[in-house]
Structure 1
């Protein structure tokens, strides 16, 4: 590109004001500097942009096309700069939260309402992609905070306890297993069992409950979204073992029913995870503290 922004500004100003003097005043440079800049632009393009009519400058046909372009692109560039400044100013106040394993957002309205007066410019986004590969989204910067039912052992991440929960068998409210005070692994042999992953996740039901029993589940179906699993259970198309907290709303609405897993139950701990490198990021720190306070007061069992 042969012309620079300063040349385009010159063209726009002369097009608006018609003379070097007035254009120079508008841009804030001296008239000799403006004259030099115009000569440089014409030299770079290899042709005259304006014709002199006394003190006024009349654009040539080709020059008129340049002026029209200048009047179009300069406002766009200015808007781009303004947008950049707004985005950069808010970047330190944007916190992206993900929830690992479950699509559990029933708590979000209450939590956001609690933030209304804590930090005026704080912006919270929720990242659905973090349901799977949650730690990877933290490490790559796609999220800033993860709420996870699995402890992180990554040395680059901070992992703090958020709340205590439990894994429960989730069934249709009229399913025969709801009559039991708790279930054993053998109770799952003859039912349609829904799971969102065939991977034996550390700390979850397969590792802690199904595998130790030695049983095999012959009627297992993979459904990769917990929301879809709940919908299927609600119309009696199977059962699953899921977080009681994650299904809090569906249980309260009697769409599904929880049954304890073993007499002792299957405790589940949720954690709040963030990058150690963000310890001095005030927005992330404020949000993490607010999450811990909110869950302590409203969501802990």
Structure 2
């Protein structure tokens, strides 16, 4: 290898913060030292990694590829060090759990209290970054277990049903649609519709409910976080179709109202997903089994 870890750290920091000064502050070195380190990296590689754009540094096409590699590899190296330290100190094995698409963690306290295995041997962390790219975080090792409302077809991943749920219309409690026993797609035509993804996700409301109706919703606003969507609906700034289970607490507290989608409802299944290669990893296996058992007892409809 031509570059050392300190060079990769430099590339990652400049890529994130855009300037030598900001990168130097983050890494705790002087700006002249950072400038020297960058020049050394470019000399070792035989080409420019960045171009000047005013006071900013803009990566060249080849430099951008290096930055993407740095941002992917450095967290993995850090995790490997953490795992080694835990093992060397006879500490707990770390299992990282993420929620796909929803920031729904209302179940976490109850689950953690129920754990039958020794917490000194298994530590569970929850990874917020999994919300947007759940399967990617599993494959790259940033998470070990994902709870997702979408089934995975990736042959590298093990996907098992967890709980049954349903997609429901979420409205302000005093919204005109809140008093209906159920809605049809036509009811959404004049509404400000909020969505966390403009993609037609397989198995979700657009594919199963909106598109088959043939209607067009003219007022659609994308809000990437479901938490933010709920906050907007709570002050009557729109409606959305979301998971009843994920919004259980907001619905129970009457911050929002839930209305069935069609007379027969729109069923949704949540899955627990892990890497097949971790099938013999006792910490991950035990955590996944404990999650399945807890959800079966406490969250199944």
TM-score relative to the length of structure 2: 0.70
Deviations 1:255-282 (A, max 9, x none): 0010000011000000000001000000
Conserved 8 A contact 1:168-1:261 = yes
Q: How does 1:23-172 map to 2 (within 5 A)?
A: 85-86=85-86, 88-89=88-89, 93-115=93-115, 117-172=117-172
In 2, the alpha carbon distance for the partners of 1:279 and 1:85 equals 23
Conserved 8 A contact 2:160-2:273 = yes
In 1, the alpha carbon distance for the partners of 2:214 and 2:98 equals 34
SS of the aligned residue for 2:104 comes to coil
Conserved 8 A contact 2:92-2:120 = no
Conserved 8 A contact 1:191-1:239 = yes
Instruction: Identify the residue that residue 224 of structure 2 maps to in structure 1.
Output: 224
In 1, the alpha carbon distance for the partners of 2:83 and 2:214 equals 60
Q: 1:259–1:88: structure 2 CA closer, same or farther, 3 Å change rule? A: farther
In 2, the alpha carbon distance for the partners of 1:91 and 1:189 equals 56
Instruction: Identify the residue that residue 195 of structure 1 maps to in structure 2.
Output: 195
Instruction: Identify the residue that residue 178 of structure 1 maps to in structure 2.
Output: 178
CA shift at 1:133, angstroms?
1.3
SS of the aligned residue for 1:101 comes to coil
Long gaps (5+) in structure 1: 1-80
In 2, the alpha carbon distance for the partners of 1:160 and 1:101 equals 17
Alignment size in residue pairs: 221
Deviations 1:229-254 (A, max 9, x none): 00000011100000000000000100
Long gaps (5+) in structure 2: 1-80
CA shift at 1:85, angstroms?
3.9
TM-score relative to the length of structure 1: 0.70
CA shift at 1:86, angstroms?
3.5
Instruction: Identify the residue that residue 59 of structure 2 maps to in structure 1.
Output: none
CA shift at 1:177, angstroms?
0.4
